[in-house]
Amino acid sequence: MKLNDSNVRNLAQNIFEHDYLLSDEVVEFANLRTCIDNYSREIDELVNFYAEVQEYAFDVMHGDLVVFYDLLNNNYAKFIDIIEIMRHVNSIEEMQNNLNSLIAFIENAFADTYLKANLVKYAENIQSHVECIKLHQTALINLKIYFTLNCQ
């Protein structure tokens, strides 16, 4: 059995709507679905946070504060590139690799800034969701169910 994200969503939705008895498989699917949702939502929150700070930096951009806006603006394109890749992963390995790229980027581009800690915090939250996905992947494999990821 090969499930993609859309199948999992439809299945979970069907279970909830019809109040079926939950088998182990369905519980695992539901948990997996939650993890995937959380992963995507956390990425959105990271993007929103970056945009919010960037907008604020633009509002106060004058004189000695231009440096803060430049920091955010100059790194925005690279940041969004990584985010877009993170949103279109096809495997947990890809997910992990992209997350590692994001963390390396943050550490490098925002070294010696307070903002780095905020961004890393979001990345850590994403990491915890990836761990959760890994856990449920293992459970589903044990149940002889295999799936592919499509976070789009």
Partner 1 sequence: MNLEYDYPSILTQFIIEQNHILTDEIVQLSLLYRAIEEYFSDVNELMNFYEQKKEFANNLKYEDLGFYRDLLNNNYDKFIVIIKQMKSAKSIEEIQINLNNMSLFINHAFADTCIRVNLLEYLADVRACLEDIKTRQVALIKFKILGTKNEIK
Distance from chain centroid for Cα 129: 7
Token reading at 83: 């985010």
- Nearest distance from residue 64's CB to partner 1, in Å? 5
Distance from chain centroid for Cα 13: 22
Q: Are 130 and 149 in contact (CB under 8 A)?
A: no
User: Within 48-67, which residues bind partner 1 (CB under 8 A)?
Assistant: 53, 56-57, 60, 62-66
Distance CA 124, CA 130 (A): 10
- Nearest distance from residue 71's CB to partner 1, in Å? 8
**Candidate segments 28-36, 83-91, 110-118, 126-134, binder of partner 1 by CB under 8 A:** 110-118
Phi-psi region of 111 (alpha: psi -120 to 50; beta: other; left: phi over 0): beta
Q: Which is nearer to partner 1, 57 or 86 (CB)?
A: 57
Binding test (CB under 8 A) with partner 1, winner from 109, 115, 132, 145: 115
- The residues binding partner 1 (CB under 8 A) are 53, 56-57, 60, 62-66, 68, 71, 113-115
